[in-house]
Amino acid sequence: MKPDILEMKPQELRFIFELKKQSSCSIQLINKTDHHVAFKVKTTNPKKYCVRPNTGVIDPNSACDFAVTMQAQKVAPPDMICRDKFLVQSTFVPEGTKEEDVTSHTFTKEDGKTVDEKRLKVVLVPAPDSPESSPINETSKLVQKDDARELKDDAVQKHSSHAKVDEGMEVPKGEGESVEATRKEETMKRKDEDVKRKEETMKRKDEDVKRNEESVKRSKEFIKRNSESMLMNDTEELRLVKDLEETKSKVKELESKLSEAKATIIHLSEEKRLATQEKHFLQGELELLRNKRHRAQVGFPLLFVFMVGLVSFYLGYLLHR
């Protein structure tokens, strides 16, 4: 198993979810190696989140934070479960590599390059003042559960008492009162324990809110410090995307020209083949004509032979007369 290039704290994105309000959180990337490390943050829903910075270079044995801001949402997801994912890519880069030099090509797995990829899931935390997480509602729910459990215990006790009476057994009065007092004491203890648990939960939630507020403050300060550099990076990235599109269009144009050249070459090759066949055919015809002319020049001409025969026939006719 290959070692991790970067260590992330925390390993999930926790957003305090409130309708029609933005929410932010930050992730710390720690480089414990002796090399310079470049990173890039990707998400499955880029229109919903804003990542600053989404690329960068971390010096050896140093750390860097990036902040993620979730846009205001009009509707809460079912069961407060978000299926969005984040991917953090990291790889070693030479010393002197700048942030604007980090592109998508930096993280291509070629020539044995080590590229580490870590996935982050998104966790939505209800706001402390939301109805779903209200401690009053939770306490009332627990009280209702305790009341229901108390009624059930009363029903069981009455049923058992009636069963004993039906069987002809006497139930002492003092024993029934002591059982009821013991049951009430247990109920009070359970309520006290529930109240303590609720108090501890509220304390933990207050601590979480404070930590989140501190994280938001740090994120805002970080975003403010790096806003200008981020604008420059966005401009550079747009320029690179434009250059890439122009290069792709030129490649497509060259491919079309190459296809036309190939078709022209095939057409010329076919014409050359037909011309060669026609040349061979004409050479055969020329050779045949030469042979005929040669044979005609070796003997007497046909007209001369015909005339001699005609004269001979006429002379013979005259002699016979």
Q: What is the pLDDT of residues 7-35, one digit of tens each?
A: 999 999 999 999 999 999 999 999 999 99
More confident residue, 249 or 178: 249
CATH architecture of residue range(s) 7-126: Sandwich (2.60)
CA distance 202 to 195: 10
Average pLDDT, whole number, for the chain? 79
Coil, helix or strand for 308?
helix
Domain ranges of the chain: 7-126, 131-224
CA distance 123 to 212: 13
- Verdict on whether the full-model pTM lies above 0.85: no
Residue range 49-67: average pLDDT?
96
Residue 208 above 60 pLDDT?
A: yes
Is 89:107 a contact under the CB 8 Å cutoff? yes
pLDDT at position 229 is 66
Q: Which tokens sit at 317?
A: 């006719």
